[in-house]
Amino acid sequence: MRIEILDLAGGRRVLSGGIAGRKLLNALIAATPAAVEPMAVFLDFEGIEVATSSFLREAVIGFRDYARVTLANVYPVAANLAAPVLEELEFFLRARNDVFWICDLDANELTTKARLLGDLDPAQRATFDAVRSLGIVTAPELAIRFSDQSIGPTAWNNRLSGLAGKGVLVERKVGKTKSFSSLLEVG
């Protein structure tokens, strides 16, 4: 699903301030249906020239945090970011030790240049890389696969759940077990 930020922002190409960000957050929430299956929601910034950190905090990160708590199967991704918007978002994420999916998105919703913007700590990075290389995994599978690291299933589950909470990994329940996979292919 694609949501065009320029349209929601009333055609404004410069987005600034926390109040304006909260207004856009409300519009994003209203525009996003609940999903039965995991779904990427592309926040398309095409045409947006500048967005301040305070705006991005309230609108983009606020929407991600709302979705992860309230819309369990919705995974926001920022798309088509102009260089100044990318720079502001990256600065904000690094200051918070946070990450967010970004990509380029074409008219057919095909993604290219997908990557995580921001920083993962070494344990989170190793976990993310393991999921990327293995595909769909569970915490017990990672504990067995990486038994030489002496990390038990509970610790793997905490790492996986933390990444899912940031919207980095997709979490699915399979009976009593949760499986995790990467939201996008890194390109």
**What fold, for 122-182?**
Arc Repressor Mutant, subunit A (1.10.10)
Q: Which two tokens stand for residue 16?
A: 């600034």
For the domain spanning 2-118, the CATH number is 3.30.750
In the chain, % of residues over pLDDT 90: 86
The dihedral over CA atoms of 94, 67, 32, 52, expressed in degrees to the nearest 10, equals -20
User: What pLDDT does residue 187 have?
Assistant: 56
Whether residue 6 is predicted with pLDDT greater than 80 in this model: the reply is yes
pLDDT in tens, 74-106: 999 999 999 999 999 999 999 999 999 999 999
Dist CA 23 CA 80 (whole Å): 21
In sequence order, which residues have a C-beta less than 8 Å from that of residue 24 and are 6 or more positions away? 5, 8, 9, 15, 55, 58, 59
Residue boundaries of the structural domains of the chain? 2-118, 122-182
